[in-house]
Amino acid sequence: MPHPGISIDEVKFIHRMAIEAFGGDPSERADTDDNINANIAGAEMSAYYRSGSQTGNVLHVAAELFFNFAKKRHSFVDGNKRVGWSVMDHYFRKNGLQIIAIFDDARSLADGVAIGTNTPDDIIEWLAANGRLVAYIPPVKEPLRDMDIG
């Protein structure tokens, strides 16, 4: 089964960046670390069963991560939808993919997850729509050259 390879520290960093960028309460719940671990483990297990294969797959794991963080187990006082979306995006990038979406469409999906009208299957269907997942090519950082330093 593909392990998401996402750590508690990465999720907390994603939360901190989301709160800094968009505002909100930065507080963690008393059981934040347990919830983060449960969300990751639950995504792995659900993807294994839902995908119908022995290994699960990237799309199923990503959808389950989003759903778990945004709906199932809130790890933070505020920003759980943003964390869910961002963890899913982070997971895709670690696996060579990125999401291409219109903001309002993505927000509609996330709102549906948060209120319980969108399931992991709906997330998968939304992501699988033509052109929403593309290859991720990380930006290349050019090394500094002695002559470039003033």
Q: What is the pLDDT of residues 69-125, one digit of tens each?
A: 999 899 999 999 999 999 999 999 999 999 999 999 999 999 999 999 999 999 999
Architecture per CATH, 8-138: Up-down Bundle (1.20)
Q: Specify the higher pLDDT residue, 76 or 4.
A: 76
DSSP structure string for the chain: -------HHHHHHHHHHHHHHH----PBPTTHHHHHHHHHHHHHHHHHHHHTSSS--HHHHHHHHHHIIIII---BSS-HHHHHHHHHHHHHHHTTEEE---HHHHHHHHHHHHHTS--HHHHHHHHHSTTSEEE--PPPPPPP-GGG--
Residue boundaries of the structural domains of the chain: 8-138
- pLDDT tens sequence across 13-23: 999 999 999 99
